Structure 1
């Protein structure tokens, strides 16, 4: 019988694999074939040396790899900055909405007080200002509402600001009363900024509520 199957069995035994024959048959052949016996010894010695050999020296490339990496992942940095700005806008709008409600509520509940307007007109003014505060607070809670609130807020501001300036110049309103309208202007600016940012995300294909870089 040729020696090839037995040498394959020897190699398989060294690798811990099935022999493909019985152990007794392999041992009988090794006892009767000096060439295969010598080949088995050489294979065992070669395998042992290969397994005990030290690993080759590999240069430490950690520094080079780290130096090649960007300092920060651009997408992550953009997303983090976007979340920071969005959160700042919402908190500022929340503060403006609370302040606006704080001014409107007493007028709505108690009437004109020191104001020279009739009671019903004071109540209407309080209701309008409280509605503005509610719009600010709603957008702060749900920024996706910014675009829908803008037509009401912008039209109200566009009408109120020139009228207030004219009344202030004519002495029909006190300066401290006119300054309270700065809350309205600040709130509208914040809502406009939120709507602009949301529109820019939609243009770049990023949903408004998704926190990923555009």
Structure 2
């Protein structure tokens, strides 16, 4: 019997392809043909060597991956300190907001303001100061609002500080009235710190990505 068709079927079996004949016929031929049996063993060994090629060398990225991990992992002392500081900032901002509202309330409800301002001007001042107090409380409750509130509040605070210094020099405002603005300044500084702590760590993420891909 010619062995060529059976060896083609053996090759197809090694490659996972259709045999082209019943598998029982191929097995019976292998049982009675030592040559095809030896050929099948040799072909199988060659196929295994071709398929089990050595893996290409892979660089050790252990140090880079560990270096890219955040330093403040949950449960560490640094993370605990960070949470404590965040809570302290929020409580301080809440206290400033409540105090700011306390200063604004008399002008808004009774229409009384320093230096005998007209009633409507006193109401406007009270409403504005109460709105600033609400912004402080809102950031204390939701710290991610700090970045959005900071540009407006900081601009207002800087302009008010410049105007207050000029009015003090000109004698248009009493020192106690000017000192009340320090509460506003404290609130804006606290919001700035909260916004800075919550800024996106884009630069750190880029550095970590470069370490891993290097």
TM-score of Structure 1 vs Structure 2, range by shorter chain: 0.5 to 0.7
1:112 is the counterpart of 2:116: no
SS at match of 2:116: coil
Q: Could you say what the CA RMSD is over the residues aligned between the two structures, in angstroms? A: 1.7
Q: Partner residue of 1:58?
A: none
1:126 is the counterpart of 2:126: yes
Q: Provide the rounded CA distance (Å) in 1 between the counterparts of 2:202 and 2:119.
A: 46
Q: Provide the rounded CA distance (Å) in 2 between the counterparts of 1:96 and 1:74.
A: 29
Q: Partner residue of 2:169?
A: 169
Q: Partner residue of 1:49?
A: none
Structure 2 CA distance for partners of 1:177 and 1:109, relative to 1, 3 Å: same
1:184 is the counterpart of 2:206: no
CA shift, 1:112, in A, is: 2.4
Q: Please, what TM-score do these two structures have when normalized by structure 1?
A: 0.59
Q: Partner residue of 2:138?
A: 138
Contact 2:114 2:177 in 1 (8 A): no
Q: Flag the structure with larger Rg.
A: 1
SS at match of 1:173: coil
Structure 2 CA distance for partners of 1:128 and 1:203, relative to 1, 3 Å: farther
Q: Provide the rounded CA distance (Å) in 2 between the counterparts of 1:106 and 1:78.
A: 44
Alignment length (residue pairs)? 133
CA shift, 1:117, in A, is: 1.2
SS at match of 2:133: helix
Per-residue deviation, residues 92-122 of structure 1 (Å, max 9, x unmatched):
1011000000000111110125532111111
Per-residue deviation, residues 19-57 of structure 1 (Å, max 9, x unmatched):
xxxxxxxxxxxxxxxxxxxxxxxxxxxxxxxxxxxxxxx
Q: Partner residue of 2:147?
A: 147
Q: Provide the rounded CA distance (Å) in 2 between the counterparts of 1:175 and 1:130.
A: 22
Q: Provide the rounded CA distance (Å) in 2 between the counterparts of 1:188 and 1:147.
A: 11
Q: Provide the rounded CA distance (Å) in 2 between the counterparts of 1:74 and 1:150.
A: 26
Q: Provide the rounded CA distance (Å) in 2 between the counterparts of 1:143 and 1:202.
A: 19
List gaps (5 residues or longer) in structure 2. 1-70, 206-214
CA shift, 1:184, in A, is: 0.4
Q: Provide the rounded CA distance (Å) in 2 between the counterparts of 1:153 and 1:86.
A: 20
